[in-house]
Amino acid sequence: MMRSLSEYMNEPLSIVKPSFFKENIELKSREVILARMHFPRLFSSTAIIEGFDGKWEFRQTSIWKNKYEIFQHGYSLSFAQYQSKTFKNSGILSLPRGIKLIFQFKIFKELNSILEENGETLLTIANKGFFNKKIIVSLAKKSTLLDEYPWLILFLWYVATRDNAHVFVYG
């Protein structure tokens, strides 16, 4: 059985695009691949994520409102919804049981975060390097939300690259 995401809190995590020519993204801890995200068709807004003993889909359901939904792979009803706020530098992810997470995008600092409703940072992803870009993931604290929704890291990357295409080099 795979370790839960919060167990990787003190380990280096990164988001990697192994091939420039393919739309595949990996979440890694050192050399271990924890999760993969791929786009089934060229220029598709649907992403499929596999890892942590699960499989999910991210879909942009409204181009005009920058609205996204998360589905258990193979199901037609979403269980979570994301809505960008004005000027696209933040948004709200609504999860089951009334849980809401705040997404923040700091474009000039190349830092993106997920915060809990109380303002505490849950995780961040940041661009490091100038010529050789690397995306570093930092888990700010242990949380059952990370274990229950291990796709959160890749969803933050997905939204950042869709809403703010200039934020990441391989968006």
The tens digit of pLDDT for each residue in 66-119 reads: 899 999 999 999 999 999 886 668 999 999 999 999 999 887 667 899 999 999
Q: Where are the beta strands (DSSP E) in the chain?
A: 13-16, 24-29, 32-38, 47-51, 54-62, 67-72, 78-84, 90-94, 100-106, 111-116, 121-128, 134-139
Measure the CA–CA gap between 110 and 124, rounded to whole angstroms: 10
What residue spans define the domains of the chain? Answer: 5-163
Phi/psi-derived region of residue 81, left when phi > 0, alpha when psi is between -120 and 50, beta in every other case: beta
The gap from C-alpha 39 to its chain's centroid, in whole angstroms, comes to 14
Most confident of 18-27, 35-44, 74-83, 162-171: 74-83
Q: Report the distance separating Cα 123 and Cα 143, nearest Å.
A: 10
CB neighbour list of residue 72: distance below 8 Å, 6 or more residues apart: 54, 55, 56, 57, 79
CA distance 134 to 90: 22
| Cα torsion angle, 169, 36, 135, 151, sign | positive
- pLDDT band, residue 133 (cuts 50/70/90): low
The whole-number average pLDDT for the span 5-15 is 91
Class of domain 5-163: mainly beta
